[in-house]
Each structure stands twice: as structure tokens, then as C-alpha cells.
Amino acid sequence: MDGRYNDISATVEADRAHVWHHLFQHAVLDKRDPRILVEGKGMTVWDQTGRDYLDAVSGGVWTVNVGYGRESIANAVRDQLVKINYFAGSAGTIPAAQFAQRLTEKTPGLSRVFYANSGSEANEKAFKMVRQIAHKHHGGRKWKILYRERDYHGTSMGALAACGQEQRQEQYGPFPAGFIAVPHCLEYRKQWDVENYGERAADAIEDVILREGPDTVGALCLEPVTAGGGVITPPAGYWERVQEICRKYDILLHIDEVVCGMGRTGAWFGYQNYGIKPDFVTCAKGVASGYAAISCLITTEGVFDRFRTDPDDPMSYFRDISTFGGCTAGPAAALENMRIIEDEGLLENTRKMGVVLMEGLHDLMEKHAIVGDVRGKGLFCGLELVADRATKEPLAEALVERIVGLCDAEGVLIGKTSRSFYGFNNTLCLSPALIVGPSEMTRILDTLDAALTKATH
């Protein structure tokens, strides 16, 4: 970094005085300055003091898939903005049409894209479609939406009603009705003592459907790999059975790809690792790697058709808008982001480096007794930390935070899963950009190794 930011104290004070940071207890800033990030290149970011950090969490929340400092994306956005920056989504724009086409080429079976700005918003669109389909085609029944314990779908009221992390809901209710939880599928924290755990966990969804009444259930919304709820990969046999259950009861399958989408797991979308055929896919973070705000709801022609059966009925179409959805910086950035992933072979790199990361994490598990479980897919991995391997008692949150802090002090940013009342705040998250190379991976793993040693001695 050059010396331009050496005198940044006025900005630091402006931040302290006026910015309300996300998911952040501001009392912390009574004792230290806020961290202000001023530059990024590749996998490195610099703060206001000139300190550099190797970012092993892609912008904190699994977002900057193609890394920082991509001038070609900035240029694509600039070129688009000087042509036309905005028009409401009832009309089309060139990047919105082109990106919808490119995106649906990657999602066989899905052919329609509804644009929005955030993951929460894209999920809300799907929920609203399910509700409208229930009204239009099922006499008001099939209005319930199932979600899974430990999954997260966003922060707006509908998305939060579908939140399997109860601590996020605490103090924000009441929520909209009709969102029903199904059990999680984390085999490490077994709920059933059976051989074929995946099928049993999926059968638990069927139990909920039967309890609620199949004719009242419209959709099932799941993350392909649960992110903030503990980096939970599905057990064998899970998805096949989930798909069967959805077909059996005519339930729309909504896969929330906000984290896994755009290459994070080594496939374009997480669900493609498991042979799933979804009715809705929502994606956001990696779609433009944070270079512009964009999210997408991708769906089938079958769902789309249900909204144009009655052209004379003024209530029959999807009466929804997102002022900034799809216009125009977002899809321009997303097109270039997708080109980079393709031309630089980043899916292949994700698969290759994902193996290196997994092997490294298993080595750490052999060495450190506090590592209870290692999970992940591609460049999306988690280490579940325990106080005792036999009882699986979660490691105290303060200690988990200390490990994150020790890595930070060494200039490596890692993450941890969401706060929780019932014990899943104990998973460290590693999700480097899809461009990560061997030397960066070695540094991440060595730093984590040292932090695990230091925190427990």
C-alpha cells in the first residue's frame, strides 16, 4: 500500500461517530479504533494503519470469490454506467439480459431470473412466489414454507422467520406465520442412532410434512451446505431422499445458494454436487464477488408459467419489484466475474485447493485434541472445536474467539460460525477466494496451527 492513507485519523473518527457497523457490539470501540479497510489486491487487504491481512474468508462472509483489485470488473461496471446506469426492471437492459442467459446456461432445468440486491431479498421473492402460487393454484393451501434448523436465509422479516438459528430471531419477533422448522442433518451431532443417517435425517422432513399436512406445505428451503450454522455438509443419501419427498408431496424445492453459488464448492452451484433438481435457486454473494450489489432468484419455466395463465386477471402476475434489482452495475459486474471464473479455471482451482485445505485441516485434527470434526466442500470448510472429544462439549466461545484473534494478530483473517444459544458457535470457517494458491494456503494452515497450539497451552 502507498502512503496515501497515513493521515486517516479524521475518517477513523467519522466512522466511530457515525457508522453503525453490522453484527457488531460497538462498546468494543471504547477500547480500540475501528478497523477501516482501504485497499485490496488478490487475497490481501490493507487497513488504515498500513497493516496487511491475508483474507481466508473472502471479505468476511464468503463473498469476494475472484479476489480483490479486479480492474476488469471495475472497468465493466464503469463502461456500463456511462452507457446507462438505471432503468426500472419492468424494462430490460443489455447486461441484465446477457447475464440471465449466461447464468441459466449454468443451471440446466432453470430458465428464468428475477433480479434483486441481496440474498435476503432473493429469498423473500421465492417465498412470495410460493404464497402466490398457493393462492392462485391451490385454493390458498400449500402456503407453508419449511426451513431447516441451523440454516440461515437472511435478515428481513420473512427470511428471519425461516431462520434455523434461533439466536438471530431473539427480540425481533413476532414473525410472519407459516414458516416451519425441520431437523438439521449434521451427523457429528447425531439425533438418531442409525446406519443410514442421511436417509433418516431426510425422513425427519417427511415426518414434519405429515404432521403439518402435505396439502398445506408449498416449499422446502435448504442451504446445499449449511454455512453460518456450522459448515454442514449433507450426509450420504440425504439429498436423494429429500428430492423424492418433495416430488411425492408436490413441494417446491428452494435451494439457497447465497454462499455456495458461483463456484465456492468447486461446482457452479452447491446443489450440482448432489444431483439435485431444484425449483428455485437463490444466489447473491459470489455472483459479482462484491464489486456491485446483485442477487438472483432462478426458477423453472413451470413456475414462471404459473404467473401468466390469466392475462386478464390484474392479480395474476408476480406483483413484485426491487428498485435496484438487476440495474445495471450488478449484472455488468456479474458477467465479468463469471468470465474470470471460466477463463482462469477457478472451479478447477477450487476443487484442487479444496483438497489441499481439507487435508491440512485433517492434519490439524490429528494434532489438536480440540478439533472435534472437519467438514467442507471445495473452498468452504469448517473446523468444529470441542472442549472434550468424547462428550463433544462445544469449546467455550471465548476460546474460539481467541483463536480467531490470534490468527488476526498474525495477519490472517479467518471466521467463525454464528453466535448460538445451543452450541454451534464453535466452528471456525475457512473460505479463501477461489484464486488461492499453495503458498497462501500454507500460510493460512500454519497460522491456524500456531493459534490452536497457543490457545490451548
Answer for the pair 188, 90: CB distance below 8 angstroms, yes or no: no
CB of 151 to ligand PLP, least distance (A): 7
Nearest residue to 115 via CA among 145, 86, 83, 147: 86
Identified binder of ligand PLP from the candidate list 259, 276, 334, 358, rule CB under 6 A = 259
Query: Looking at beta carbons only, is 46 or 238 nearer to ligand PLP?
Result: 238
| Site pattern 279..308 for ligand PLP (x: CB under 6 A) | -----x------------------------
Q: Is 153 in the site for ligand PLP (CB under 6 A)?
A: yes
Cell of 179: 414458516
Answer for the pair 335, 95: CB distance below 8 angstroms, yes or no: yes
Q: Give the SS3 label for residue 1.
A: coil
CB of 63 to ligand PLP, least distance (A): 9
Scanning residues 51 to 90, which ones bind ligand PLP (CB under 6 A)? 61
User: Is 315 buried (19+), middle (13-18) or exposed (0-12) by CB count in 10 A?
Assistant: exposed
CB of 154 to ligand PLP, least distance (A): 4
- For ligand PLP (CB under 6 A), the number of binding residues is 16
Scanning residues 195 to 224, which ones bind ligand PLP (CB under 6 A)? 223
Q: Is 160 in the site for ligand PLP (CB under 6 A)?
A: no
Helices 71-83, 329-343: axis angle to 10 degrees equals 150
User: Is 218 buried (19+), middle (13-18) or exposed (0-12) by CB count in 10 A?
Assistant: buried
Identified binder of ligand PLP from the candidate list 227, 281, 327, 329, rule CB under 6 A = 227
φ, ψ for residue 113 (rounded to 5)? -120, 125
The single residue listed with the C-alpha cell 429469498 is: 123
Q: How far is CA 24 from CA 249, 275, 398, 427, in A?
A: 42, 38, 16, 19
The single residue listed with the C-alpha cell 482501504 is: 38
Helices (H), ranges, 28-108: 71-83, 94-105
Query: Looking at beta carbons only, is 123 or 447 nearer to ligand PLP?
Result: 123
Query: Looking at beta carbons only, is 22 or 32 nearer to ligand PLP?
Result: 22
Q: Is 325 in the site for ligand PLP (CB under 6 A)?
A: no
Query: Looking at beta carbons only, is 295 or 447 nearer to ligand PLP?
Result: 295
Scanning residues 368 to 387, which ones bind ligand PLP (CB under 6 A)? none
Scanning residues 120 to 139, which ones bind ligand PLP (CB under 6 A)? 120, 123
CB of 226 to ligand PLP, least distance (A): 8
Angstrom distance (rounded) from CA 132 to CA 194: 39
Q: Is 256 in the site for ligand PLP (CB under 6 A)?
A: yes
Q: Is 228 in the site for ligand PLP (CB under 6 A)?
A: yes
Q: Which residues contact residue 407 at a Cβ distance below 8 angstroms, ignoring those fewer than 6 apart?
A: 56, 413, 414, 447, 448, 451
Q: Which stretch binds ligand PLP (CB under 6 A): 200-208, 255-263, 421-429, 445-453?
A: 255-263
Answer for the pair 59, 50: CB distance below 8 angstroms, yes or no: no
Answer for the pair 58, 64: CB distance below 8 angstroms, yes or no: yes
Query: Looking at beta carbons only, is 48 or 431 nearer to ligand PLP?
Result: 431
Angstrom distance (rounded) from CA 262 to CA 281: 12
Answer for the pair 378, 351: CB distance below 8 angstroms, yes or no: yes
Q: Is 116 in the site for ligand PLP (CB under 6 A)?
A: no
Query: Looking at beta carbons only, is 70 or 153 nearer to ligand PLP?
Result: 153
Q: Is 152 in the site for ligand PLP (CB under 6 A)?
A: yes
Going by their DSSP bridges, the two strands 52-55 and 44-47 should be labelled as antiparallel
Query: Looking at beta carbons only, is 121 or 206 nearer to ligand PLP?
Result: 121
Q: Which stretch binds ligand PLP (CB under 6 A): 152-160, 178-186, 374-382, 421-429?
A: 152-160
CB of 324 to ligand PLP, least distance (A): 13
CB of 258 to ligand PLP, least distance (A): 3
Q: What is the DSSP letter of 61?
A: I
Residues that bind ligand PLP (CB under 6 A): 61, 118-120, 123, 152-155, 223, 227-228, 256, 258-259, 284
